[in-house]
Amino acid sequence: MVPVAEAGPAAQPVATLPPMPGVVLVGLLVSTAGFYGFFWFGRIAADLRRHLDGNIRVWRNVLGSLVPVVNLIVLHRLARRVAELNRRHGLPARPTTAKFTVVLVLVTAVAWPINYIANHYLPAIAVFTTLIVILLLSVPMLMVQRALNDFKASLTEVEWLAPVNRMTVRQGLACVAGFPL
């Protein structure tokens, strides 16, 4: 697969998923109790494979997102690749590595103790604290999604693989399946 940056001027339109609004991402994360995050890792990796490097293995990113601590490394790697994609296309290299690292460390340093204390000492408020943790952990994901959305907005020749500004069938199914959680 030839990355977009190396494609010639007579290249075919790029087939890609439309930008995902941050509100939709947070809504899916909350309504599925965070399980949409595993699908999101795969979606971002698939977009990067389409636009940056055809050798990115989507399944490795999804499996890595399932393992604690490894998921932070995978998320950091995805953020660096999105910044590289933006840089290659003349956009600001967002999210910057330093800023993203600080946000990721701070969010993790706050979210894990909250989750641990609520689950072990305050089970009556565990649902509330789980919601807080999901919202906290969505911040770094929103940073990556925003940078990828900026890239997608800059594309001139594009063929959207799903309706723009609407949830896909998979997102809707994840949302419906997550409500019982």
Does any domain span residue 66?
Answer: yes
- Token pair 């949409």: residue: 36
Asked whether the predicted pLDDT for residue 176 surpasses 50, the reply is: yes
- Determine the Cα–Cα distance for residues 92 and 166; give it in Å rounded to an integer: 27
Q: Provide the whole-model pTM.
A: 0.83
Does any domain span residue 44?
Answer: yes
Using one digit for the tens of pLDDT, what is the confidence trace for 53-103? 888 889 898 899 898 889 999 999 999 999 999 999 999 988 898 999 999
Does any domain span residue 2?
Answer: no
Does any domain span residue 160?
Answer: yes
Does any domain span residue 7?
Answer: no
Using one digit for the tens of pLDDT, what is the confidence trace for 102-158? 999 999 999 989 888 888 888 888 788 888 989 999 999 999 999 999 999 998 888
The whole domain housing 49 covers 14-176
Number of domains, the chain: 1
